[in-house]
């Protein structure tokens, strides 16, 4: 242990029982005596608790058939794996109670099937190396933050965000899902468990090679090595669950919610916060923003701190949920609708009354105001997506096609 050597089969799932290491782990985790006496442990102490109870540790050693000679020689049983150990006796007893483990089962060395989780090594060198490799700084640790994309060779990512994105998108065994910018496939792995088929799109050569190797035995996935902007979108229904490349956010949204709205059913996207916020401004200058809201229900589920990613971006991120709305405008009218919006937004500071007169007759403008409850004195950019949609439908009804914007 002084030489930082670990057994060949020490896969990161085993525990060292050395008293010095345990005390150091407790010290590193900032667990003080008062907290121990009060049975308190840090909230973000990775969700797991370690036992400090001497009797329990000694019993664990005994049960695992580890003798003093093996410990002195830094040997641990090959099969010394399994569950975590809480260090507080009360916590252990409570966990046993909550898990409905009875004394008979304990005597028979039985544990519930679901009494599992993640395993931790307490070796200081391994922990420090894992932190270094994952680029977690002391401030993040002090703030009890763990990266969402906490990956690398030592730790798997925190699955909460990914699982939530999949849940919010209602992915099921009938869905084909696109993972745009699949990276190392952390999100892809989870999608494969829920979706019928996954299309992983990645533009980095090394990552493409990694993905193809990682999923070479998987049947319900296809890996495409290309820039998403050059990818030919399938003409069948699909969803997207993706941590998209920030640099081409607007282009991705346009490809999905305009160019391929016939096939795109919605999903969950992690994107840069600022472009996400621009989708929800009170004054809308961008015709595509209005169009997106017309065909889709958009919602920022929550913001994501930069420290939630490895490596952390220099900007904040957001979780955007997209759902298809009931159809009020046919897909074959989408280009005409975009031209209608673009035409009226050419002069965004015009009052609604003046802007609508560029297409409608004066009497029709007044009728629209009464029918739709639109304040004609507002600037045109203050119209809501719903009001824009209603005005367009009125144009289709009452304005001859030769007067439609082109």
Separation between Cα atoms, residue 315 and residue 344, nearest integer Å: 33
Residues of the chain within CATH 1.10.8.100 domain(s) are 333-403
Helix/strand number for the chain, H first, E second: 18, 9
CB 124 within 8 A of CB 24: yes
CATH topology of domain 333-403: Helicase, Ruva Protein; domain 3 (1.10.8)
Tell me what pLDDT residue 134 has.
Answer: 43
3-state SS class at 110:
coil
Angle at 141 between CA 138 and CA 144, to 5 degrees: 155
For 291, 293, 347, 359, the CA distances from 355, given in Å and listed in that order, are 18, 21, 8, 8
The answer to whether the peptide bond before residue 311 is cis (omega within 30 degrees of 0) is yes
For 24, 158, 164, 232, the CA distances from 257, given in Å and listed in that order, are 53, 30, 22, 15
319 backbone dihedrals φ, ψ, rounded to 5°? -100, 110
Separation between Cα atoms, residue 52 and residue 67, nearest integer Å: 19
Whole-model pTM over 0.85 = no
Tell me what pLDDT residue 315 has.
Answer: 80
For 17, 63, 87, 357, the CA distances from 60, given in Å and listed in that order, are 9, 5, 12, 83
* Domain covering 160-324 in this structure, CATH number: 3.40.50.150
CB 353 within 8 A of CB 379: no
Tell me what pLDDT residue 316 has.
Answer: 85
Q: Each residue's pLDDT tens digit in the chain (406 positions)? A: 444 444 444 444 444 444 555 555 555 555 555 555 554 444 434 444 444 445 555 555 555 555 555 554 444 444 333 444 444 444 445 545 555 555 554 444 444 433 333 333 334 444 444 444 444 444 444 444 434 333 322 222 446 888 889 999 999 999 999 999 998 898 999 999 999 999 999 999 999 999 999 999 999 999 999 999 999 998 899 999 999 988 899 999 999 999 999 999 999 999 989 999 999 999 999 999 999 999 999 999 998 877 666 667 778 889 999 999 999 999 999 999 999 999 999 999 999 999 999 999 999 999 999 999 999 999 999 999 999 999 999 999 999 999 999 8
Tell me what pLDDT residue 310 has.
Answer: 67
3-state SS class at 386:
helix
Tell me what pLDDT residue 161 has.
Answer: 82
Residues of the chain within CATH 3.40.50.150 domain(s) are 160-324
């Amino acid at each position: 242990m002084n030489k930082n050597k670990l057994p060949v089969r020490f896969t990161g799932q085993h525990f060292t029982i050395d008293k010095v290491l345990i005390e150091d782990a407790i010290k590193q985790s900032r667990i003080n005596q008062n907290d121990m006496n009060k049975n308190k442990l840090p909230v973000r102490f990775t969700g797991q608790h370690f036992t400090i109870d001497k009797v329990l540790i000694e019993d664990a050693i005994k049960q695992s058939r580890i003798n003093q000679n093996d410990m002195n020689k830094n040997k641990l049983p090959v099969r010394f794996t399994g569950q975590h150990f809480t260090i507080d006796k009360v916590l252990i007893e409570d966990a046993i109670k909550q898990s409905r483990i009875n004394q008979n089962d304990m005597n028979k060395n039985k544990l519930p099937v679901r009494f599992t989780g993640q395993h931790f090594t307490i070796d200081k060198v391994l922990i420090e190396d894992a932190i270094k490799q994952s680029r977690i700084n002391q401030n993040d640790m002090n703030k009890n933050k763990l990266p969402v994309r906490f990956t690398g060779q030592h730790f798997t990512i925190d699955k909460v965000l990914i699982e939530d994105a999949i849940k919010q998108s209602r992915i099921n065994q009938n869905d084909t899902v696109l993972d745009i910018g699949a990276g190392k496939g952390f999100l892809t792995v989870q999608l494969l468990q829920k979706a019928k088929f996954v299309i992983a799109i990645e533009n980095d050569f090394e990552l493409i090679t990694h993905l193809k190797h990682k999923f070479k035995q998987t049947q319900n996935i296809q890996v495409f090595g290309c820039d998403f902007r050059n990818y030919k979108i399938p003409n069948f229904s699909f969803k997207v669950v993706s941590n998209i490349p920030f640099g081409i956010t607007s282009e991705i949204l346009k490809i999905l919610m305009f160019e391929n709205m016939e096939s795109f059913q919605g999903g969950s996207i992690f994107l840069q916060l600022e472009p996400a916020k621009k989708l929800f401004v009170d004054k809308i200058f961008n015709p595509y923003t209005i169009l997106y809201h017309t065909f889709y229900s958009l919602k920022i589920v929550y913001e994501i701190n930069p420290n939630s990613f490895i490596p952390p971006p220099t900007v904040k991120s957001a979780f955007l949920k997209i759902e298809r709305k009931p159809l009020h405008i046919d897909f074959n009218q989408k280009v005409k609708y975009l031209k209608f919006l673009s035409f009226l937004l050419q002069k965004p500071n015009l009052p609604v009354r003046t802007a609508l007169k560029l297409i409608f007759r004066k009497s029709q403008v007044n009728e629209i105001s009464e029918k739709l409850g639109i304040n004609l004195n507002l600037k045109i950019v203050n119209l809501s997506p719903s009001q824009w949609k209603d005005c367009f439908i009125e144009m289709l009804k009452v304005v001859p096609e030769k007067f439609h914007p082109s």
